[in-house]
Amino acid sequence: MRDILVIGSLNMDMVIKTPHIPAPGETITGTFSAYLPGGKGANQACAAGKLGGSAAMLGMVGRDAFGESLLNSLRTAGVDTSLIGRCDEHTGQAIIYVGSTGNNSIVVLPGANQACDAAFVAAYEEEIAASRCVMLQMEIPFEAVCTALELAAKHGCKVVLNPAPAVGPLPASILKTVDFLTPNETELSLLTGLPVENDEQAVSAARSLIAEGVRCVLATLGSKGALLVTAQESRLFPACRVQPVDTTAAGDTFNAAFAVRMAEGASMEEAITFANAAAAISVTRPGAQPSIPSRAETDAMLQGE
């Protein structure tokens, strides 16, 4: 039995550092560019591996050099890549502009991720059954996410659904199958149709999701930290104070770190504190997967070293 199966996207990110995010019609000069491994699913799998979880990834890449490079990045992080298929589409790509405050703007070209469809996921039911926790995002076809949720529920797996990138409301039938829903502020607002401009509004929006059947909402609030809302409580876990360089994959690192500690039997409080620390380290470094810290680095951060 493995701890975590991540079902989701793999993208090669073309990262371009700029003084600010270009406005429509504006041309500006970049200061740095690099191809770095990314994709929300792959980032979460990579983080789970680097942070010490036993993790596998189910997804799809193309038969090209980007696909090979993404597989290598996950293998180096200790992730089981044997469930990642290869197809004739190009490997997923993302163009990411990173501004001087670490904020970003992203365009995704899904490519092979579209072939991670419902039939592909259903063929791996035994692998889902052999996983304590299934982690999902929204960069593969929606029907594939629904199939994964159904199978995870059937086999009693814990489910973490990171509803990113931003989508509209999800049906209650989906929400009922989710143990931990982890939107950022924008996603929380889009999921509920409610404004999320302050902590009180975030709590109200999260409560409306609990009323629809989600067991626990764990909203990430960027530099403010993370908000836990269950039927019993709401509690803000403040972020660690760091100087952000590039926030890409902060949410992915947070999700995986939380799942790793929960799989180890930690309390929710311990898991969220650990996730805040790992995500804070990730924002101090450029890129998605290269920014994800190791377990030792995260433990050191928590001990104030």
The set of catalytic residues is: 252
User: 93: closest CA among 77, 74, 113?
Assistant: 113
- What is the closest distance, in whole angstroms, from the C-beta atom of residue 77 to ligand RIB in the complex? 14
Cβ–Cβ < 8 Å for 74, 46: yes
Chain-centroid distance, C-alpha 27:
31
- Report the length, in residues, of the chain: 305
User: 70: closest CA among 54, 51, 86?
Assistant: 86
| Alpha-carbon gap, residue 175 to 165, rounded angstroms | 17
User: 95: closest CA among 4, 175, 10, 15?
Assistant: 15
Chain-centroid distance, C-alpha 5:
13
Question: x/- string (CB under 6 A) for ligand RIB, residues 102-131?
Answer: ----x-x-----------------------
Q: Counting contacts by CB under 6 A, is residue 239 touching ligand ATP?
A: yes
Name the binder of 149 from ligand ATP, ligand RIB, none, CB < 5-8 A by kind.
none
Residue 228's DSSP bridge partners are 218, 235
6-14, 61-69, 205-213, 238-246 -> range binding ligand ATP (CB under 6 A): 238-246
Which residue of 22, 78, 244, 286 would you call a contact of ligand ATP, by CB under 6 A?
Answer: 244
- What is the closest distance, in whole angstroms, from the C-beta atom of residue 238 to ligand ATP in the complex? 9
59-67, 147-155, 191-199, 223-231 -> range binding ligand ATP (CB under 6 A): 223-231
Binding site for ligand ATP (CB under 6 A): 164, 184, 220-223, 225-226, 239-240, 242, 244, 247-252, 254, 276, 279-280, 283
